Amino acid sequence: MTERSTILRQNVLFWGGVGGLAAVFISAIGMVEVFDGRKVIDPWLSLGYLLLLCIPAAVGFRVSRRVVLEGVAGPVPGKHDIVAGAATGAVTGLVMAGFILLTDAFDLRGVLVNVTPALLDLLTFGQGSATGVLIIVGLGSVLGAFGGAMHLVPARTRSLALRAFLWVLLVGFVELLLGNMLREVRLAAVDDYLFNTSRRVPWYSALTVAALVVVPSVLFRGRSQKLRARFVALSAPRRRRIGFLLAAVFVIFGMVVPANFGPLLNEIMTTVGLFMLMGLGLNIVVGYAGLLDLGYVAFFAVGAYSTAILVSASSPTFTPELAFFSAVPFVILIAALAGLVVGTPVIRMRGDYLAIVTLAFGEIARLVFQADWLKGAFGGAQGIKVDPARIRTMFGYVLVGIGLVALIVGGLRWWAARSLARERGEHDSRATSGAVVAVLGIVAIAVGVAFPDFATWTARGIDTEQIFRFALVFVVIAAFVSWRLEDSRVGRAWMAMREDEHVAEAMGINVVTAKLAAFVTGAVLAAFGGALFAIKIGTIFPASFKIVQSIIILVIVIVGGMGSLRGVALGAVVLIGVLGGPSQPGMLREFEEFKLLIYGVLLVVMMLKRPEGLLPSARRTRELHQEEFLQDAWIKAKADEIEEHA
Amino acid sequence: MASLLEIRGLTKQFGGLRALGGVDFRVEPGEIVSVIGPNGAGKTTFFNTISGLYPPDSGEILFEGSDVAGLNPDQITRRGIARTFQNVRLFPNMTVLENVMVAQHCRTTKGMWPALFQTPGFRREEAEIRERAREVLGFFGTRLVGYRFDQPAFALSYANRRRLEIARAIATQPKLLLLDEPTAGMNPRETLEQTELIGKLRSEKGFTVVVIEHDMKVVRNVSDRVVVLDHGVRIAEGSYEEVSSNEDVIEAYLGRPATKEGA
């Protein structure tokens, strides 16, 4: 027993200290103060306080967390959990108190610019440092006890409460977007109810949101699991068909709806699309072929610059002023060439060496675009001005073209399958899919014809809504390409190369071609992103293509799940949509200053807790959890054996 | 009849180490030849040089009459030489079926565009690849079929990994199979089975086989001819009986008996 209490005391001190340091850290870097402006529940709980006060509760919970072993009954939760939580919270409070007293006694602003009197005021709840210290220690232990008490609550209730809480938080965060959207779809009453006049969430709407989350999940308890189980039990082709259908619905939704999102969400979603595009491209290079490319931004830059030169009226020397979609084929060609140029010299490199060399290539690309002696072509540090209002798109022609191809392919397929079915007297599913493709083709032609301003040579001007639609089209193309290639001869060659290059070669795979194919495909997808970036941003200049872009694209792929399309898509939405891109705003504008910090923390946490990513591919999960897999397989084999004997 | 593989004066040097010092070697179609020799004799280097992993320093490697020395491994595999590795080198995170499917790369042609548009030709080829993979795995009885198709290669037992490696080599549709210690690390029963399998590779599949092997029982049972390497040179060649009684061979394996002028 004494041994256990020593361990517990050590734990209390450790986690209390960790909590205290975290709290001091987020205060000292200014997070608390900046986030104080955002009221989660008006008027008495701001995001800053919330962040601060979450810490003692979290460490209070963590300190008596148990490792659950299968077949071993863990210690029963009880009062001691609350006591331990309170003690841990108090330690956290004490560390904070120390920080408050220190700030009060000395002026730390010379070292830590963010430690302002306003911060001190916040931390002491405006009561002066003596009372404030008492409050914070007391509050710390109360919250710690609350965290500890969570062990006494059933896990389901706990997760439900957490979910409700997060939803309230989310509604508070996206207030502007939600308001815009609600007003666009004529639900202003809902908006008025949710947010008060200062556009903040009052307590009653917070409660409503929480109830909206809790009530259905209590009512439909277990339903979602059943639904999921039924989905998993479906045969693979049917599952794929459903997935395909969902994706199609999503895409059509995305094509129709942007008008109702308001410009801000539109902007954010376009940025998400841009990075999703590059994430998908890098996923082919890194996730499929296993070539760690740290200079991926180079292809993005190539795409952006070639588009800018081809479409802009103010490019320095060469001004063909093409329409956007007639420039795209050239951009693809140039990007493919760039892929070859970067790919060829690094063919014989692998692993770390490849990473370093590509890193250098990324920087070289930026410096080339910046160079004074190429100022005549790329405009040097000032870059190239692209005026979106003066660009023709020809999107209508593209739609009509795509529609015609779809009509012909789908029609032929339908016709062939139907005549086959007549011979055999049974229905062929290909007839249906062919008909669907053909109908979609007709729809595309109709849309292309119905919006002549996209199509005519003379109309000029691109707005964010259109760019979002283009982004969607490109993302669909990228996802389609990745999906088809993964399960093909080329995709298998990439996989084999990733596993063991020498053996892949000995098994008859030409690694030179395979690598170049990966580089070129990746480069083209990144160039799509660059092309969109060029017509969206207004001016293309070298500073937009810094190394941090490459890193963030890689982080998207890693956090989302390497080799998994859904994962990369989710990664882009989470990282870029919520936090914002390196120079683009996300939904949480307050995070702006702390973006890189949060990226870093997220990456570290993911690597420790879930290295396979948020939505990993089955293969990658297997790879990173070989031992668990083997154990499961062993247990399954044993169970089968026993069954056989029985 | 022309030899399937004819090697003349093959040398390979690693810095100051002469791994192969002018090896002459010949395999007739339909033969099973064993290559034996003590550790460090250059057997695996010999295989690596034939299969193109190392370019030879000098010498000729004539396969079906044309020189393949200096070609890339994938080109050599395409010509019809497949191999396994001494320290089993599968693609551990690919499934059993995928391992065999990927090995058909050099016998198939459909690239990116057909894959993107799922042309009828592409579908047909994919179906064929899958079918052939199942067929090849079926060659090993029940060991690599059924639920094993979709297991990752790392989940296989050691013996099954060796079998899968052979399956993968077969899937490249070679004329000549180079097996590098196919029974290493197997128990006596598995070794026996593997020995029979090597025989079947010739009798049922019609492959010509070159085996590196340490287990003399296996060597005696499978080989038409035995070639002994030591220090990168061929020191003996002949039937198992001839070779096993050869003075030089015994010396290479057991060392020179201590004599007065020796030491």
Q: Which of A432-436, A581-585, A614-618 has the weakest average pLDDT?
A: A581-585
Whether residue B202 lies within 8 A of chain A, CB to CB, comes out as no
Note the helical H segments in chain B: 43-50, 73-79, 96-102, 112-117, 120-138, 158-171, 188-203, 216-222, 240-244, 247-254
Interatomic CA distance for residues B131 and A16, integer angstroms: 61
Q: Which of A155-159, A543-547, A604-608 has the weakest average pLDDT?
A: A155-159
Note the helical H segments in A68-115: 79-105
Residue range A123-148: average pLDDT? Answer: 87
Whether residue B129 lies within 8 A of chain A, CB to CB, comes out as yes
Interatomic CA distance for residues B99 and B140, integer angstroms: 15
- Would you say residue A312 has pLDDT above 90? no
Contact A495 B125 (CB under 8 A): no
A333 Cβ neighbours under 8 A, 6+ residues apart: none
- Would you say residue A456 has pLDDT above 60? no
Name, of A7-16, A118-127, A467-476, B222-231, the range with top average pLDDT.
Answer: B222-231
Substitution target in B54, B93, B132, B148 with the highest count of A β-carbons within 10 Å is B93
Contact A490 B111 (CB under 8 A): yes
Q: How many CB pairs under 8 A join A and B?
A: 107
Interatomic CA distance for residues A614 and A559, integer angstroms: 6
- pLDDT band of A1, cuts 50, 70, 90: very low
Angle at A550 between CA A547 and CA A555, to 5 degrees: 125
pLDDT for B261:
52
| DSSP letter (8 states) at residue A614 | S
Whether residue B103 lies within 8 A of chain A, CB to CB, comes out as yes
Substitution target in B105, B136, B142, B172 with the highest count of A β-carbons within 10 Å is B105
pLDDT for A440:
85
Residue range A11-17: average pLDDT? Answer: 90
Residue range A31-47: average pLDDT? Answer: 76
Token digits for A2? Answer: 């004494």
Q: Say what percent of chain A tops pLDDT 90.
A: 26
Query: CB of B232 within 8 A of CB of B55?
Result: no
Q: How far is CA A393 from CA A274, A303, A441, B97, in A?
A: 18, 16, 20, 47
Residue range A513-531: average pLDDT? Answer: 95
pLDDT for B40:
86
Q: Which of A277-291, A397-411, B63-77, B205-219 has the weakest average pLDDT?
A: A397-411
| DSSP letter (8 states) at residue A576 | I
From chain B, the residues in CB contact with A484 under 8 A are 115-116, 118
Distance from CA of B199 to the nearest CA of A (A): 23
- Would you say residue A128 has pLDDT above 90? no
Contact B74 A495 (CB under 8 A): no
Instruction: Quickly count: other Cβ atoms within 10 Å of residue A365's Cβ.
Output: 22
Which long-range contacts does B135-142 make (Cβ < 8 Å, 24+ apart)? B136/B100, B136/B167, B136/B170, B136/B171, B137/B96, B137/B97, B137/B100, B137/B164, B137/B167, B139/B167, B139/B170, B139/B200, B139/B204, B139/B205, B140/B166, B140/B167, B140/B197
pLDDT for A258:
66
CA A105 to the chain's CA centroid: 44
Whether residue A332 lies within 8 A of chain B, CB to CB, comes out as no
- pLDDT band of A452, cuts 50, 70, 90: low
Sign of CA dihedral A258, A264, A267, A268: negative
pLDDT for B181:
92
Distance from CA of B21 to the nearest CA of A (A): 24
- Segments of chain B with pLDDT less than 50: 262-263
Residue type, A13: L
Token digits for A58? Answer: 């979290």
Contact B89 A508 (CB under 8 A): no
- Would you say residue A620 has pLDDT above 50? yes
pLDDT for B262:
43
Residue type, A52: L
Interatomic CA distance for residues A1 and A122, integer angstroms: 42
Whether residue B125 lies within 8 A of chain A, CB to CB, comes out as yes
From chain A, the residues in CB contact with B82 under 8 A are 507
Which long-range contacts does B128-136 make (Cβ < 8 Å, 24+ apart)? B129/A489, B129/B101, B129/B104, B130/B97, B130/B101, B132/B104, B132/B171, B133/B97, B133/B100, B133/B101, B133/B104, B133/B171, B134/B97, B136/B100, B136/B167, B136/B170, B136/B171
Q: Which of A313-317, A336-340, A472-476, A538-542 has the weakest average pLDDT?
A: A313-317
SS3 B63: strand
Whether residue A629 lies within 8 A of chain B, CB to CB, comes out as yes
Comparison of pLDDT for A460 and B188, the residue scoring more: B188
pLDDT for A418:
82
Distance from CA of B176 to the nearest CA of A (A): 13
Distance from CA of B49 to the nearest CA of A (A): 11
Prior bond of A43 cis (ω within 30°):
yes
Substitution target in A428, A480, A507 with the highest count of B β-carbons within 10 Å is A507
- Would you say residue A310 has pLDDT above 80? yes
Whether residue A489 lies within 8 A of chain B, CB to CB, comes out as yes
Instruction: Quickly count: other Cβ atoms within 10 Å of residue A9's Cβ.
Output: 12
Residues 518-577 of chain A whose Cβ lies under 8 A from any Cβ of chain B:
521
Averaged pLDDT score across all residues of chain A: 83
Give the nearest partner residue to B77 out of A481, A492, A506, using CB atoms. Answer: A506
- Would you say residue A59 has pLDDT above 70? yes
From chain A, the residues in CB contact with B168 under 8 A are 507
A380 Cβ neighbours under 8 A, 6+ residues apart: A370, A371, A372, A374
Contact A630 B77 (CB under 8 A): no
Distance from CA of B216 to the nearest CA of A (A): 28
Interatomic CA distance for residues A636 and B113, integer angstroms: 41
Query: CB of A394 within 8 A of CB of A324?
Result: yes
| DSSP letter (8 states) at residue B59 | E
From chain A, the residues in CB contact with B142 under 8 A are none
From chain B, the residues in CB contact with A507 under 8 A are 74, 77, 82, 102-103, 105-106, 168, 172
Contact B51 A488 (CB under 8 A): no
pLDDT for B98:
94
Closest CA to A48 of A58, A57, A37: A37
**Model's pTM, two decimal places?**
0.86
Whether residue B233 lies within 8 A of chain A, CB to CB, comes out as no
- pLDDT band of A433, cuts 50, 70, 90: confident
Taking only the tens place, the pLDDT of each residue in A319-345 is 788 888 888 999 999 999 999 998 998
Whether residue B110 lies within 8 A of chain A, CB to CB, comes out as yes
Token digits for B138? Answer: 């079926």
Interatomic CA distance for residues A181 and A260, integer angstroms: 6
SS3 B236: strand
Whether residue A424 lies within 8 A of chain B, CB to CB, comes out as no
| DSSP letter (8 states) at residue A546 | -
Query: CB of A391 within 8 A of CB of A461?
Result: yes
